[in-house]
Amino acid sequence: MNFNLTEDQQAYCDAATAFANEAFKPNAARWDRDHEFPIQTIKQAAELGFCGLYTQEPYGGLGLPRLDASLIFERLAMGCTSTTAYLTIHNMVSWMLGRWLPAEVAGEWVPRLASGELLGSYCLTEPGAGSDAAALKSRALRDGDDYLIEGSKVFISGAGSTDVLVVMARTGGEGAGGISAFMVPANSEGIVYGKAEEKLGWHSQPTREVAFNRVRIPANYRLGEEGEGFKFAMQALDGGRINIASCSLGTAQQALDDALAYVTERQQFGRPIGEFQSVQFRLADMATELAAARLLVRQAAAKLDENSPDKSAWCAMAKRFATDIGYQICDEALQLFGGYGYIREYPLERYLRDTRVHRILEGTNEVMRLIIARRLLATPSLNLL
């Protein structure tokens, strides 16, 4: 059990840190203020491989383990939480298509996603099927050599500005076994995009409803076989939970770094506030909880890389803990800034807004608790050591 980074992992982290400092951090406040989706900066990230971190190498991806991708996302999130979170979604789309599309179709589309030429969105959530994703109502009707997709999806990151959609739709009966997965070009006839949602955070990526009105796609745009879509979606979400947990870690680390710098400069009662024991205790707790969350995320990522039978429970534990702790650390850091933390001249309020949604997406933290509890009750020998 070695907790030190390898030379390759350290090199990835250094590259991600440099890019975050140069391309993300100087622009993050403006992207947030103007609700700008920084497509050109995302394409610059692709030049470093950040749009295909764990996409398969034959399709132009780096083919990295999820642990290595987690390290990179954590460092990128220190520059801009919202943009990094979109990159995690794009990476999930690219990986899913590389793994489950027919090879001839994947060869045409996936390299363009890994290179950043095309951007992707993931379409699972529906108005009546959020946490209960297996209850989705969108349908894909077979029509000769094609499918016709009907229905609507909500809260879709990047929608209206991306090029490729991964869509979960029902091809069979009720429940998870009736769901299939499809690749849908985002400009297909019959797709209608709703207005950009006004959100608390994540302002550097658009979020829209997507309606499908008998959208025709070739049958070979289906991922795997009919009825396998829900299984694919859940496998993707295991990795997505690690990814979004990593974004929370990075933002919390930046919030802690900002707080440490501030308390050494801010004077009250004739001395820096960092000299007050109450402030020191708060900083100590923030650092300890962040370290614990980081270790849990990395262990869960290793479980996923090993394809451990209990990987889903570990990913759920990591997501639940890291996103709760990440938000809490951002809140504590804002408190240390006092009134300055509440105004937009400082980034603390943005950190808080951007990390809040992490406790909801990729499965709410309440659902994470259900996943963990069900695993414990079914297999009490869940190895926690």
For residue 167, give the H/E element and its range: strand 164-170
97 close to 109: Cβ distance less than 8 angstroms: yes
CA atoms 101, 104, 110, 112: torsion sign: negative
252 close to 325: Cβ distance less than 8 angstroms: yes
Decide: residue 40, CB within 10 A, 0-12 exposed, 13-18 middle, 19+ buried: exposed
Question: From the CB of residue 135, how many other CB atoms can be counted at a distance below 10 Å?
Answer: 15
The amino acid present at 324, given as its one-letter code, is D
119 close to 55: Cβ distance less than 8 angstroms: no
State the helix-helix crossing angle for 229-265 and 66-77, rounded to 10 degrees: 40
Q: Of 117, 332, 362, 366, which is the active-site residue? A: 362
**Alpha carbon of 357 to those of 91, 244, 326, 361: distances in Å?**
19, 10, 11, 6
For residue 301, give the H/E element and its range: helix 277-305
Of 25, 73, 80, which Cα lies nearest the Cα of 49?
Answer: 73
Of 245, 193, 248, which Cα lies nearest the Cα of 363?
Answer: 245
Confirm whether 332 is a catalytic residue. Answer: no
Rounded Cα gap, residues 50 and 164, in angstroms: 17
Q: Six-digit token pair at 364?
A: 């709410």
The amino acid present at 278, given as its one-letter code, is S
DSSP category for residue 155: E
CB neighbour list of residue 385: distance below 8 Å, 6 or more residues apart: none
Residues assigned a catalytic role: 362
